[in-house]
Amino acid sequence: MGKDYSGETYKIIAGVDEAGRGPLAGPVVAAAVVLPEEFTCREIKDSKQLTPGKRSRIFSVIQENAIGIGVGIIHADEIDRINILQATFKAMRQALENLPLKPEEVFVDGNKTIPYLSIPQTPLIKGDTYHLSIMSASIIAKVTRDQWMEEAHQQFPEYDFNRHKGYGTKEHLRLLRIYGPSPIHRKSFYPVKIRIFDSRLKGFQQLSLNFTEL
């Protein structure tokens, strides 16, 4: 149990959400947030409904007011190995493990519970549109992932990760066709997988052409 400013006890509840299930590159990031029972903030919404600037500002508000924040990050190579759904669940478990206190109940966005979790949990469909802790977790996860992709842009500037954050935009697909996959691309995702296949096919065709010229 936690205590509010009056000394009354209340149940410690964590909201959990993720960012980055759909992109072709970069990690999937999950966040778990425990808020004070009396905390309110009308500006907190689903991260997808906020501009980047407003998201960053509310990110700071949540950091300043939350009782606890935990983040979990699963990278592209592991996503390829265990699939994106299991990677998302693993990131959520990591986020809960990284909280500075153990919640007594978890509310998770979506229609699925997190496997292998001993804490009582409730999935909430569209919870990121009305549950304050889940909306807060959505913002923490999204801003954390965007910051990660901004840093990735410094290492791989040719892909413009700072603009599309790894999502399959037309520009990203165009650059993927030109440069092929980077080390942070998800090679099990079809648009990336097909680029790998094309590259290998071209290499095989070139090898065959060289052989016939001998």
Which CATH number goes with the domain that contains 117?
A: 3.30.420.10
Alpha helices in 124-165 (DSSP H): 132-155, 161-164
pLDDT of residue 67: 97
Q: What would you measure as the largest C-alpha separation in the chain, in angstroms?
A: 87
pLDDT of residue 199: 59
Give the residue numbers spanning the domain of 36. Answer: 2-157
Cβ atoms within 10 Å of 133's Cβ, excluding its own: 24
pLDDT of residue 198: 65
Whether residue 111 is contained in a domain is answered as: yes
Cβ atoms within 10 Å of 197's Cβ, excluding its own: 10
Domain count across the chain: 1
Cβ atoms within 10 Å of 45's Cβ, excluding its own: 18
Cβ atoms within 10 Å of 102's Cβ, excluding its own: 13
Whether residue 142 is contained in a domain is answered as: yes
Burial 113-129 (b: 16+ CB within 10 A, else e): ebeeeeeebeebeebbe
SS3 state at 214: coil
In this structure, what DSSP letter does residue 40 have?
-
pLDDT of residue 210: 44
Both tokens of 165, joined, read 């954050």
- Rounded Cα distance between 188 and 164, Å, is 19
Whether residue 85 is contained in a domain is answered as: yes
Whether residue 77 is contained in a domain is answered as: yes
Distance of CA 203 to the CA centre of its chain: 34
CA-based R_g, the chain, Å: 21
- Rounded Cα distance between 206 and 214, Å, is 13
Whether residue 91 is contained in a domain is answered as: yes
Contact 35, 193 (CB under 8 A): no
Smallest CA-to-CA distance from 189 within 85, 84, 91 is with: 84
Which residues are within 8 A (CB) of 16 and not within 5 positions of it... i.e. 6 or more apart?
Answer: 30, 31, 32, 33, 92, 95, 96, 106, 107, 108, 109, 114, 134, 137
Whether residue 167 is contained in a domain is answered as: no
In this structure, what DSSP letter does residue 113 have?
P
4-52: pLDDT as tens digits:
434 445 689 999 999 999 999 999 999 999 999 999 998 998 888 899 9
pTM summary value: 0.88
pLDDT of residue 46: 81
Whether residue 191 is contained in a domain is answered as: no
What are the pLDDT tens digits along the chain (214 aa)? 444 434 445 689 999 999 999 999 999 999 999 999 999 998 998 888 899 999 999 999 999 999 999 999 999 999 999 999 999 999 999 999 999 999 999 999 999 999 999 999 999 999 999 999 999 999 999 999 999 999 999 999 999 999 999 999 999 999 999 999 999 999 999 999 998 876 554 544 443 444 444 4
Mean pLDDT of the chain: 90
List phi, psi (to 5°) of 185.
Answer: -75, 150
Whether residue 67 is contained in a domain is answered as: yes
- Rounded Cα distance between 33 and 17, Å, is 9
